[in-house]
Structure 1
Amino acid sequence: MTTTTKPKTQTKPLTKREQLVNLLNKKDGVTVNQISEALDWLPHTVRAALTRVRAEDGKLEKLPPADGDRYARYRLDKA
């Protein structure tokens, strides 16, 4: 009898947009600097991507800075 093995399924790596959306889904939001470090983007690239998210989804929230921080935070509105 021959045994068949299933081919290994490779999971597709997340796109940069999917990674951005995952970051924006954090409860407390994320700053431009945090996104820049996580995705290895320059800050102006992050801001452009946030603009595209806002234009396409329309659900981007700008949150006030966290205590002791001076940078605004962003997250996707779940509503």
Structure 2
Amino acid sequence: MAKATKTQTKKKPLTKREQLIQLLGKAEGVTVNELSKALDWLPHTVRAALTRLRAGDGKLEKVPPAEGERCTRYRLEKA
């Protein structure tokens, strides 16, 4: 009798775009600097990705900075 081999299903790692969308899903939003650090991208790369996301889906929302902060936050619009 042959042994039944258990196939392991490995989850594919998230793409950078999927990671970006996941980070933008936070209710409080996220700054360009936070995205840059989380994705290991330069700030101008993050801004370009946000532009592409906005142009493609148009679901990006700009949140005014909290009191005492200077950086604008971004998040996905609620449907």
> TM-score, normalised to structure 1's length?
0.94
Identity of aligned residues (%): 71
Q: 2:23: which partner in 1?
A: 23
Q: 1:55: which partner in 2?
A: 55
Q: Which amino acid aligns with 1:65?
A: P
Q: 2:11: which partner in 1?
A: 11
Runs of 4+ in 1 over 2 A off after TM superposition: none
The CA RMSD measured in Å over matched residues stands at 1.0
Question: Would you say how many aligned residue pairs link Structure 1 and Structure 2?
Answer: 79
Shift of 1:66: 1.5
Separation in 1, partners of 2:57, 2:67: 28
Q: 2:64: which partner in 1?
A: 64
Q: 1:8-53 deviations in whole A, cap 9, x for unaligned?
A: 1111000000000000000000000000000000000000000000
Q: Is 1:34 aligned to 2:34, yes or no?
A: yes
Separation in 2, partners of 1:67, 1:23: 22
Residue segments in structure 1 that go unaligned for 5+ positions in a row: none
Separation in 2, partners of 1:67, 1:27: 17
SS of the residue 1:62 aligns to:
strand
Separation in 2, partners of 1:69, 1:63: 12
Shift of 1:6: 1.6
> TM-score, normalised to structure 2's length?
0.94
SS of the residue 2:46 aligns to:
helix
Q: Which amino acid aligns with 1:47?
A: R
